[in-house]
Copies of this chain bind each other. A is one copy, B any other.
Amino acid sequence: MSTTSSTGVTAPQGFRAAGTTAGLKASGKPDLALVVNDGPRHDAAVVLTSNRVQAAPVKWTRQALSDGRCDAVVLNSGGANACTGAPGFVDTHTTAEAVAEALGVGAADVAVCSTGLIGERLPMVELLAGVSAAATALDGSAAEGGADAATAIMTTDTVSKQAVAHGPQGSGWTVGGMAKGAGMLAPGLATMLVVLTTDAVAEPAALDAALRAATRVTFDRVDSDGCMSTNDTVLLLSSGASGVTPTAEELREAVTAVCADLARQLVADAEGASHDIAVEVVGAASEDEAVTVARAVTRSNLFKAAIFGNDPNWGRVLAAVGTTDAAFDPDALDVSFNGVQVCRAGGVGDPREGVDLSGREVRIVVDLHAGPATATVWTNDLTHDYVHENSAYSS
């Protein structure tokens, strides 16, 4: 997992990171990560789950980020600390205090993220010892620290996820990021923890605008299994260490590039999946309607099971499209699977035998013939392995 050059959260100047094994997971794998912003600036923005059942760390981080400042992020896998009541919130607070003390910063400037099983308290003795160990490990090479942190936040992920994007040629600033995903992947965000860093100079409001614009068209359009998590968190931290202030558009583009890269990596590593499916809706009356239709298709278990079976079953696509109230004429719908237009004008099109679904990536295009708008939502197929991974043990 480790690389010699910085490709994740430590790619921008002004950031250190570490990953360690606190002992929260039965597997004994790394489970605690720290990301520290050494400045000179400490601007930050966050997007949190829209689920109304929110984990303690989500509640804490909303509060901590409300002033637009964040000095460090501590993340643990091996336990979501969700539905743990007031004692769970105290655990999160205690964790932030321990990080603050180890780094010499204020606890109110420490974001906390947790992922794992809902409804279990975290083993705090192990977790706090892990915080100390991670703080000590921060002094290693920046590149290894970023990769170690990305590894420590994995749950059922099989590979760690990092991404980087640079500002315009010669501008001298960078956006880096890491993510974990795997299960409970659905909109409003996908189930995931994401930390993005940049050395660009940007006020919290500028970071917030860039982050919301980016997540809206990336993470919010991943719908692996229709299940929304209680812990989703996307943080964007700015150190300002490059001394460069990008335009709003430049910042949005770079942040979006990193989010899109990480979102694609999440889909590629979704629990039990054997296909990554892009459902692209074109000819919609509005972007919202394009998203609504695409999401209806990505939520159809029958469609997803058909893709698992390499079956270009376009009738299941039309059945899903028909559940929406988007503008379209049922007799005008076109659907293609990997470039073969198997449904034309709401009826039989080219022979389904011409469709090759043997590859990992599948592209479905639905043309509503109702306007100029378009949107793509990514999902995965519904497989035996998905059922197995989510039934064989609590996660």
Q: What residues on B are CB-neighbors of A331 within 8 Å?
A: 85
A124–B188 Cα distance when bound, in Å, is: 48
- CB pair A53–B330 under 8 Å, yes or no, is yes
**A83-B348, A226-B300 known; A51 and B184 CB under 8 Å?**
no
Q: Which residue of B lies closest to A311 (CB)?
A: B394
Indicate which residue in B80, B119, B305 contacts A387 across the interface (CB closer than 8 Å).
Answer: B305
A267 to chain B, nearest CB (A): 16
A309–B65 Cα distance when bound, in Å, is: 39
A347–B82 Cα distance when bound, in Å, is: 8
Most B Cβ at <10 Å: residue of A299, A301, A328: A301
Q: Which residues of A (175-221) have their CB < 8 Å from a CB of B? A: 183-184, 188
- CB pair A322–B387 under 8 Å, yes or no, is no
Q: Which residue of B lies closest to A381 (CB)?
A: B391
A321–B227 Cα distance when bound, in Å, is: 11
A333–B322 Cα distance when bound, in Å, is: 34
Q: Which residues of A (294-353) have their CB < 8 Å from a CB of B? A: 299-302, 305-309, 311, 313-316, 318-325, 328, 330-331, 333, 343, 345-348
Indicate which residue in B50, B226, B307, B319 contacts A228 across the interface (CB closer than 8 Å).
Answer: B319
Q: What residues on B are CB-neighbors of A388 within 8 Å?
A: 384
- CB pair B315–A83 under 8 Å, yes or no, is yes
A6–B313 Cα distance when bound, in Å, is: 39
**A118-B316, A230-B319 known; A85 and B347 CB under 8 Å?**
yes
Q: Which residue of B lies closest to A392 (CB)?
A: B309
- CB pair A84–B300 under 8 Å, yes or no, is no
- CB pair B315–A387 under 8 Å, yes or no, is no
A345–B188 Cα distance when bound, in Å, is: 25
**A343-B83, A348-B84 known; A308 and B387 CB under 8 Å?**
yes
A374–B88 Cα distance when bound, in Å, is: 31
Q: What residues on B are CB-neighbors of A345 within 8 Å?
A: 85
Indicate which residue in B188, B230, B315 contacts A119 across the interface (CB closer than 8 Å).
Answer: B315
Q: Which residues of A (354-395) have their CB < 8 Å from a CB of B? A: 382-384, 386-388, 390-394
Q: Which residue of B lies closest to A191 (CB)?
A: B319
Q: What residues on B are CB-neighbors of A82 within 8 Å?
A: 315, 318-319
Q: Which residues of A (109-155) have their CB < 8 Å from a CB of B? A: 117-121
Any B CB within 8 A of the CB of A54: yes
Q: What residues on B are CB-neighbors of A383 within 8 Å?
A: 387
* 7 interchain residue pairs of minimum CB distance: A118-B315, A309-B391, A53-B322, A305-B390, A85-B347, A51-B322, A52-B322
Query: Which A residues contact B (CB, under 8 angstroms)?
Result: 50-54, 80, 82-85, 88, 117-121, 183-184, 188, 225-230, 299-302, 305-309, 311, 313-316, 318-325, 328, 330-331, 333, 343, 345-348, 382-384, 386-388, 390-394
